[in-house]
Amino acid sequence: MIQIKKLLWHVTLMVLLGIVFSVATAEEILLDEVVASVNNEVVMRSELEERAIEVIGRSQARNTQLPDEKEILSQVLDRLIIERIQLLKAKQAGIRYSDADVNNAISNTAQRQGKTEQELLDEAEKSGIPPSIFRQKVREQLLISRVQEGNLNKRVSISEQSIDNFLNTEAGRSWATPDVNLGHIMLPISSRGSEEEISKAQEEILDIYFQIKNDKDFKDLAIASSKGREAQMGGDMGWKKTTQLPEIFITAIENISPGQVTEPIRSDAGFHLLKLYGRRGGVSQNLVQQHNVQHILLIPNEIRNDTKTQELIKKIRFEILNTGKFSDSAKLHSEDIGTAMSGGSLGWSVPGQFQPEFEEIMNAINIGDVSEAFKTTYGWHILRVIERRKQDFSNEIKRSQARNTLKQKRFQEELEIWLKEIRDEAFVDIKL
């Protein structure tokens, strides 16, 4: 049935796009022609038709209501034009991705989805995308992402004041705190309870506490004894932000580990026991490993393409291995304006400060060694770790993570503006 629907859509699109059927000869003739000119390149009818069918297929799989055919074609053509403009910018900047880069991207995507690379390729082929086309789409997406980051990173700046403002909002305070999964046993006390009533409740909560210490099941005891709202669910409060909990609960669970139970807690409402099942997210008070690192960055450009840039940084690395003068080479060659004059010094880092590729190399390399050349979205790097240390930088980590959160939000906002700008600047002639 799906194949029939797909065929019907295919035929509808062919008719709409002007496919000519010869009645006299009963022969179908496909006229592939230009539907749009973008600067010095073109978008072909076959590209538009293929992409439209993909969009329709995805929408039908999600049971999404589709607009009419003309609207679909208009939206798809506009998307193709925007993509073509960005790919042209990548070409002009000399940005290239090797087959190995594409393989790594496919492998990473498969891992994130819990699949093998072959399973990913097979799924694409079942939906009508052969492996060669799938690989080309991955390559194009890498190029587009690189162009976007290269153009927008310099437009997205997050000030310290912006971070302060974010962390002082309710959303910011909630974001920075961890989630905890708690079990709760409660024995209430009346606001007018007598000393005898309070003493009895205290003895009972201590009895329950010692039963737990003797390996009695917390949930069974909650069902049997707790008077809290969650009693019938074994005292399960589920995952909650610590900001949603009473201050007395936050203090009680601060220094216990998952699986442990607090000592009895007294509140105005009564006596409580809390079991911490799990903790996630937030910024915990932990020692983190820092790296004092320096690097050299070379950025591909119109004159020196990606391959030549890679060759040059490998040559610089070879010279450093022979001379041992990393700082001098950074001052002479590095195109990171902010660090070149200081010998490429990036100072002490905190986790999450650099791009994943950079941090992976930084974490793995021995102190004093010069890394192999590697690429990030900024260009080609080599780095050297001068020293390492462990520090409690919880606040710095929180601010770094907040900066990344704000940057991602601003990036998306600026992306829409930038895409409109490059669309307006480009010469586009729609012929459909």
Query: Which pLDDT tens digit goes with each residue over 140-178?
Result: 999 998 999 888 888 888 899 998 888 888 767 666 677
Q: At residue 271, does pLDDT exceed 80?
A: yes
Half-sphere exposure (Cβ direction) of 170: Cα atoms closer than 13 Å: 1
Fold of the domain spanning 287-393: Chitinase A; domain 3 (3.10.50)
Fold of the domain spanning 178-280: Chitinase A; domain 3 (3.10.50)
Fold of the domain spanning 2-152: Triger factor/SurA peptide-binding fold (1.10.4030)
Q: At residue 281, does pLDDT exceed 80?
A: no
| C-beta of residue 121 within 8 angstroms of C-beta of residue 134 | yes
Every domain range in the chain assigned CATH 1.10.4030.10: 2-152
Full-model pTM: 0.49
Confidence (pLDDT) at 17:
47
Confidence (pLDDT) at 15:
43
Q: What is the pLDDT of residues 114-143, one digit of tens each?
A: 788 888 888 888 877 888 889 998 999 999
Beta-carbon contacts of residue 356 (< 8 Å; ≥ 6 apart)? none
Under the banding of pLDDT at 50, 70 and 90, the label for residue 217 is: very high
**pLDDT (average), residues 304-333:** 94
Continuous H helices in 62-116:
69-92, 99-112
Q: How far apart are the first and last CA of the chain?
A: 31
Dihedral angle, C-alpha 281, 285, 287, 293, nearest 10 °:
70
Every domain range in the chain assigned CATH 3.10.50.40: 178-280, 287-393
Q: What is the pLDDT of residues 1-45, one digit of tens each?
A: 444 344 444 544 444 444 433 333 444 455 678 888 888 888 888
